[in-house]
Amino acid sequence: MENYTQPSTDFVLLGLFPPSRAGLILFTLTFPVFLMALAGNLCMVLLILLDAHLHTPMYLLLSQLSLMDLIYVCTTVPKMVSGFLSGNKSISFIGCGFQSFLFLIIAGSEGLILMSMAYDRYVAVCSPLHYPIRMSRRACVLMILASWATGAVNSSVHTVYILRIPYCRSRAIDHFFCDVSAMLTLACTDSSSHEYIMFLSAILFLLLPFVVIVLSYGKVLLAVYHMSSQEGRKKAYATCSTHLTVVTFYYAPFAYTYLRPKALRSPAEDKVLAVVYTILTPMLNPVIYSLRNKEVLGALGRVRGRICCKKI
């Protein structure tokens, strides 16, 4: 690891890529993925906003997922890119806290949004007659607000802690963004108690929602299996497989990073896993939901038609 020391209160992000030809090649491979994630999620948010046919609970929740993925890539990647291209890897103390705050909000809220999406599919398939009541617009908005608020409270706790603890002379964070776990290794005080709190947060925002999602889709798949309509069964399977794919891409790297013992973690491995949930997964989510969803493709055609008519 490069030996950076900061006499000021600034931190130094060691980044994702080494300052070499190999690092440049890796950067040129990663940057297009970032642009695709940025464009795909922005298009998904705007599409759901502009097309009235998509103003349903399922797609309102999907718009929040895309918005969160959009914030993910905008929070972590631009600073990493500018640091690699300019060579200036420093980030201010407040800037680091703000970046960490935004990242933690999304990390906590996205798991709850995915849980809400699983509940939406459970009600739609297992209790279709009660769907208008249990998944009304008001209920959907409350789910969204609760996800953001809970994520913000969790983020505030961790951010306030890392901004108040004393740091040693070396302020080099072995990551490409201000990750709380990487910052705790630089603390001059014993941070084991907060590491325990972080582990509890991971259980609350990762493990518990994942259990709810698995139980929801277990009941959904059981109900789909007993469907008499072949067409309905096919549509339900397609919808469930789409959601389960997104859930797997989100939870697998997060759980492996934050639920395994500290002794088994390494900075290099953590950075690779962070690429998956901050860049790769946000890029894949819009592709998965658009290419495998006829309603989204139909909305894309309608919005494109309206834009073309206005130009003419």
pLDDT in tens, 128-141: 889 999 999 999 99
Residue ranges of domains in the chain: 11-310
129/9: higher pLDDT: 129
Asked whether the predicted pLDDT for residue 197 surpasses 80, the reply is: yes
Residue range 93-142, pLDDT digits in tens: 999 999 999 999 999 999 999 999 999 989 988 888 899 999 999 999 99
Q: What H or E segment, with its residue span, contains residue 22?
A: helix 21-50
| Other beta carbons within 10 Å of 256 | 15
Instruction: Give the Cα separation of 11 and 3 in Å (integer).
Output: 13
Which pLDDT score is estimated for 7? 43
Q: Please report, as a single letter, which amino acid is at residue 172.
A: A
Question: In this structure, are residues 30 and 110 in contact, taking their beta carbons and an 8 Å threshold?
Answer: no
Q: What is the CA radius of gyration of the chain?
A: 21
Closest CA to 254 of 303, 205, 208: 205
Instruction: Give the Cα separation of 305 and 282 in Å (integer).
Output: 27
| Over residues 52-62, mean pLDDT | 89
CA-based end-to-end distance of the chain? 58
Instruction: Give the Cα separation of 279 and 79 in Å (integer).
Output: 13
Which pLDDT score is estimated for 19? 81
Under the phi-then-psi rule, with left for phi > 0, alpha for psi from -120 to 50, and beta for the rest, what region is 291? alpha
Which pLDDT score is estimated for 51? 84
| Over residues 243-272, mean pLDDT | 84
Q: Which CATH architecture has domain 11-310?
A: Up-down Bundle (1.20)
Q: What H or E segment, with its residue span, contains residue 90?
A: strand 90-91
289/258: higher pLDDT: 258
pTM, rounded to two decimals = 0.88
